[in-house]
């Protein structure tokens, strides 16, 4: 009798386990990041955004300003690729400095130089001469063209500030109070 009960309990656990994860509340949730994601072939662009405009009140890039791009370019394939060009209809030009090669199974970090990147691939991309004012909440279209993966279109939002914002009285804003 004990053997039948154990067998029945095991069958119940097996059947319950088979249905787990089939329909979940999290199966369609996107990662909680501010930046945009896009993909073409084996090249994935992750957490793509413009650097937060420091030193202007209210925070915005004015027409004619330059904006630094921050993102990661991930080569998920088994062959090397290369960033050929970056363009944006919102800018007069785009400068790309640093590494352009994206070797197989590696990541090219794009953004302002940070300490500790000595062993990693690094590039800097700047949208030069913005043709319009850009404020937080707005996006800027950009096209990243790769030798093998081809063009990848991305809508670049402005990143969140590093510091908490200040209220009009000069105190830190608190959760909507």
Q: Can you give the residue ranges of every domain in the chain?
A: 39-148
* pLDDT, mean of residues 103-110: 95
pLDDT of the residue at 6? 52
**How is 119-132 classified by DSSP, letter by letter?**
TSEEEEEEEEEESS
Q: Please give the CATH number for the structural domain made up of 39-148.
A: 2.60.40.1890
Q: Are strands 150-157 and 91-98 parallel, antiparallel or unpaired?
A: unpaired
Length of the chain: 177
- Which is more confident, 33 or 157? 157
Q: What is the mean pLDDT of residues 84-108?
A: 97
What is the C-alpha R_g of the chain? 23
Q: Which residues are CB-contacts of 100 (< 8 A; sequence separation ≥ 6)?
A: 82, 83, 84, 123
Rounded to 5, what percent of the chain is helix, strand, coil?
10, 40, 45
139-146 and 36-40: which strand pairing?
unpaired
Q: How confident is the model over 112-123, as pLDDT tens digits?
A: 876 666 668 999
Given this model, what pLDDT does residue 145 score? 98
pTM higher than 0.85, yes or no? no
Question: Residue 84 pLDDT more than 90?
Answer: yes
User: pLDDT, tens digit, for every residue of 26-81?
Assistant: 555 555 567 899 999 999 999 999 999 987 778 899 999 999 999 999 999 999 99
Lowest-confidence segment of 1-5, 12-16, 59-63 by average pLDDT:
12-16
Record the tokens describing residue 119, joined without a space: 């062993």
């Amino acid at each position: 009798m004990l053997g039948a009960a154990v067998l029945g309990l095991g069958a119940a656990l097996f059947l319950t386990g088979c249905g787990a994860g089939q329909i979940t509340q999290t199966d369609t949730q996107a990662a909680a990041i501010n930046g945009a994601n896009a993909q073409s072939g084996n090249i994935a662009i992750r957490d793509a955004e413009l650097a937060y405009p420091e030193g202007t009140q209210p925070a915005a890039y004015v027409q004619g300003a330059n904006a630094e791009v921050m993102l990661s370019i991930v080569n998920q394939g088994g062959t090397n690729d290369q960033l050929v060009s970056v363009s944006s209809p919102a800018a007069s030009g785009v400068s790309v400095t640093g590494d352009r090669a994206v070797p197989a199974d590696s990541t090219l970090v794009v953004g302002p130089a940070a300490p500790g990147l000595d062993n990693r691939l690094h590039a800097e991309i700047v949208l030069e001469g913005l043709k319009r004012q850009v404020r937080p909440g707005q996006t800027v279209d950009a096209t990243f063209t790769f030798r093998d993966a081809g063009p990848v279109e991305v809508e670049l939002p402005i990143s969140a500030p590093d510091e908490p914002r200040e209220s009009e009285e000069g105190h830190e804003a608190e959760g909507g109070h």
